[in-house]
Amino acid sequence: MFGRFKLQEHGTNVKTELNAGFTTFLTMMYIVPVNGFILADAGLDMGAVITATALITILATFFSGFWSNTPIAMSVGMGLNAYFTYGLVLGMQLPWQTALGIVFLSGVIFVILSFTKFRIWLMTSIPVDLRRAISAGIGAFIAFIGLKQMGIIVNNDATLVGLGDLSSPTILLGLFGLFTALAFYTYKLKGAFIFSIALTTIVAWVLGIGSVPSEFIGMPASIDPIFMQLDIMSAFSLALLPVIITFLITDMFDTLGTLTGVGTRANLFQSKDENDKALEKTLEADAIATVGGSLLGVSTTTSFIESASGVEAGGRTGLTAIFTAMFFILTLFMLPLFKSIPANAIYPILVVVGILMFTELGNINFKNNDLAVTSSAFLIVILMPLTFSITNGFAAGFIVYTSLKLIKREFEDINLGLIVITLISLLVFVVN
């Protein structure tokens, strides 16, 4: 029955894979309510989003495990879901249907590239320090969003932004949620985020900030309000091409970064054997999941770094992912509980995820005093939150990097892929 997973060959068994699957589920379960809150801010029906998030997690994770035989779980990616809502829909004033069309097109391109060597060529064309800056910039962006949604950062006519009223009960609740999330994660508690959300929610109920639901389980909400509502034709625009490329490249970064980290721990994707297609198949599953997710009505689907928790628990094959998918079926029936969670029990998780992504800044090589690297990294990290746009920071960084390399005549650091991305980046500011 489990022969296709080659358990003995990977030094594991069904019991270990089951435990690993549950561990992964516990650590990434938070994405279902968190994504519901984020996409609801874009105008999508929260109940439908929660159901769709659970569905795409189940389908994508199951398909990943079956297709690639790796313990990689997939769901709606943090970072790009925030950009979808606060950058595209609220920032650029795009209809959420058009934003879903952008996700669909980026996913289709990713699928095509996943079956060619162009994907590797594009990835290797981008300097590693810029990749790290992009991750750090997205971290700063979603942390800023989290702080703003919590009310800790507010509008200020004199200084643009200022500090909110820290005596407010809802802000104090958010600060409590932020502290517990950081504390639980520091102690490496499995399921740190979901436990933080649960504890903060209980405190809110006790203090009367939120209301206890009359029931904790119920039937899944219909996804009709968002299913197949994407507007692909309106996404076909020269002005939106940089946004599509941003989604594409960021998804590729997230996926390859996750697979590199998890693969190192599980000794996956390390083989030089040309017959070992695990990495290619996982990338294919990731790309197909993004297309499927946009049809269901959610933003970009990607591989989750939380898969590493399952690997630490002994998971080594796709059976871990399949068990994870099966556990996520439970979330389909938890809508009443998810909808009763106070917003300030959710948004602290964005801040913590942002902090974790921001740590990539420490891996950038600033010691060489390369102004091209330093200035481009700075602009990427500072412009993403300040302009509320991953695309703006991404584009500015590439334009400055390439320009300074040309000025300094360091042509060995410039390649065709970098030039192509820089030209596309110019469209961000030329076509407006």
419: pLDDT strictly greater than 70: yes
Q: What is the mean pLDDT of residues 37-58?
A: 95
> What is the biggest distance separating any 2 CA atoms in the chain, rounded to whole angstroms?
68
Domains of the chain, by residue range, sit at 3-353+369-430
Q: Would you list the DSSP string of 302-341?
A: EE-TTHHHHHHTT--SHHHHHHHHHHHGGGGG-HHHHHTS
Mean pLDDT in the chain? Answer: 86
pLDDT band at 273 (very low <50, low <70, confident <90, very high): very low
432: pLDDT strictly greater than 60: no
pLDDT above 90: percentage of residues in the chain: 34
- pLDDT value for 267: 63
> What phi, psi does 154 have (nearest 5°)?
-130, 165
- pLDDT value for 423: 84
pLDDT band at 249 (very low <50, low <70, confident <90, very high): confident
- pLDDT value for 391: 78
Q: Which long-range contacts (CB under 8 A, 24 or more apart) does 419-424 make?
A: 420/125, 421/125, 421/126, 421/245, 421/249, 422/398, 424/241, 424/242, 424/245
pLDDT band at 261 (very low <50, low <70, confident <90, very high): low
Task: List Cα–Cα distances, 47 to 32, 104, 220, 223, 417, in angstroms.
Answer: 11, 22, 8, 8, 42
Q: What is the mean pLDDT of residues 25-50?
A: 92
CA nearest neighbour of 296 among 111, 38, 103: 103
Task: Collapse the DSSP code of 93 into the 3-class scheme (helix H, G, I; strand E, B; otherwise coil) and give the result.
Answer: coil
- pLDDT value for 410: 87
pLDDT band at 406 (very low <50, low <70, confident <90, very high): very high
Task: Collapse the DSSP code of 212 into the 3-class scheme (helix H, G, I; strand E, B; otherwise coil) and give the result.
Answer: coil
- pLDDT value for 265: 58
d(CA 362, CA 352): 17
Handedness of CA 203, 209, 215, 220 (dihedral sign): negative
- pLDDT value for 269: 59
Q: What pLDDT digit, counting tens, does each position of 138-169 carry?
A: 888 888 988 988 999 888 888 888 888 888 99
331: pLDDT strictly greater than 90: yes
Length of the chain: 432
| Residues whose CB is less than 8 angstroms from the CB of residue 136 and which lie 6 or more positions away in sequence, other chains included | 357, 358, 359, 360, 361, 364, 377, 380, 381
pLDDT band at 317 (very low <50, low <70, confident <90, very high): confident
d(CA 303, CA 310): 13
Q: Taking the model in full, what pTM does it have?
A: 0.82
Q: Would you list the DSSP string of 394-432?
A: HHHHHHHHHHHHHHTT-GGG--HHHHHHHHHHHHHHH--
In the DSSP assignment, the letter for residue 116 is: S
422: pLDDT strictly greater than 80: yes
Paired with 153 in beta bridges are 163
User: Measured between alpha carbons, how far apart are the two ends of the chain, in Å?
Assistant: 56
